[in-house]
Structure 1
């Protein structure tokens, strides 16, 4: 059971890294240039909206964090750790929770800002940006979907961390799935 759970955690972390890097790349490398008048060009990039910049930073840091967490599954790292297992389990659980909430929050802020770009706001005299930069908006929408997929994967990782922490405090008879009689 422990080997299968560790293997599952490794697969989930690798898939989270891939989806987080994909999200960061979709946002960071998304640009579109339109000619507004004869010689006036406007270029849309992720730097135009603070929520997109924050999304790139948060997803990049979360991918790096998951990459560091993969190191604990290698034998050369496990042998060098001098702290207690309980302390490390709690630290991983809390950091996993923080990572999930940060990625979800940054992604939700990106979604909110993107909806303003799609609908515009007459009260603030903001135009509908996605009417002019359609490809840019479609790529940001796919990045938001990838960000939510990464949040779900990281929430699954967090449940594994929670199980590891809570299994240290539970009596053994509560953790048995089948009776031995």
Structure 2
């Protein structure tokens, strides 16, 4: 499999995971009856970390779509290796991919920490356990966090492919080139 096709496949799969995680969190609500006449609904807006998680996942999915379109246009229009053009594009791709990976990891980990407080509570801060009352909500958030971490791992692999594409421009003639069949 060509490295460009592998990167495109990983980006598409990461997009699907990011959108799945964002949809799982965004559309997850559960209403619980507190008293006979009072009910309370849990949504993603109750935790700011989940709100940011949804926003980051959608933004990163859009970034990956833009990357796929740009790479598709560049590969169809520029058949020859123009060192200056590709070198600048490789730098931009690498830096943006690095920023995206760190941002996704930070958002997913922050959402995980906030969710753990919802599961365990914090006695010293007088925070109650929320997941005792909203079990389906918490289970769905856990699934979304798993999708987020899986997408993070895929983006880490994509970033290593971007690094390979960048540093290939700085290597000796045949050092980092892949063998052609």
Q: TM-score, normalised by structure 1?
A: 0.91
Cα distance in 2 between the residues matched to 1:19 and 1:177 = 29
Give how far 1:75 is off: 4.0
2:143 aligned partner: 142
Pick one of 65, 68, 81 that aligns with 1:67. Answer: 65
List per-residue Cα deviations over 1:20-73 (Å, max 9, x = no partner): 000000100000001100110100000000000000000000000000001123
1:133 equivalenced with 2:145 (yes/no): no
1:158 alignment partner, SS class: helix
Runs of 4 or more above 2 Å deviation: 72-80, 172-178
Pick one of 15, 23, 31 that aligns with 1:17. Answer: 15
2:81 aligned partner: none
List per-residue Cα deviations over 1:98-124 (Å, max 9, x = no partner): 111101100000000000000001101
Q: What's the C-alpha RMSD, in Å, of the aligned pairs?
A: 2.0
Listed as ranges, the matches of 1:46-125 within 5 Å are: 46-75=44-73, 79=77, 84-125=85-126
**Contact 1:72/1:78, CA 8 A, preserved across alignment:** no
Give how far 1:4 is off: 0.1
**Contact 2:25/2:141, CA 8 A, preserved across alignment:** yes
List per-residue Cα deviations over 1:128-153 (Å, max 9, x = no partner): 00000000000000111100000000
Cα distance in 2 between the residues matched to 1:77 and 1:135 = 46
**Contact 1:34/1:133, CA 8 A, preserved across alignment:** yes
Cα distance in 2 between the residues matched to 1:91 and 1:105 = 21
Cα distance in 2 between the residues matched to 1:121 and 1:157 = 38
1:42 equivalenced with 2:43 (yes/no): no
Give how far 1:174 is off: 2.7
Query: Aligned residues, how many?
Result: 175
2:176 aligned partner: 175
Give how far 1:177 is off: 7.2
1:19 alignment partner, SS class: helix
**Contact 1:71/1:77, CA 8 A, preserved across alignment:** no
Give how far 1:79 is off: 2.9
1:161 aligned partner: 162
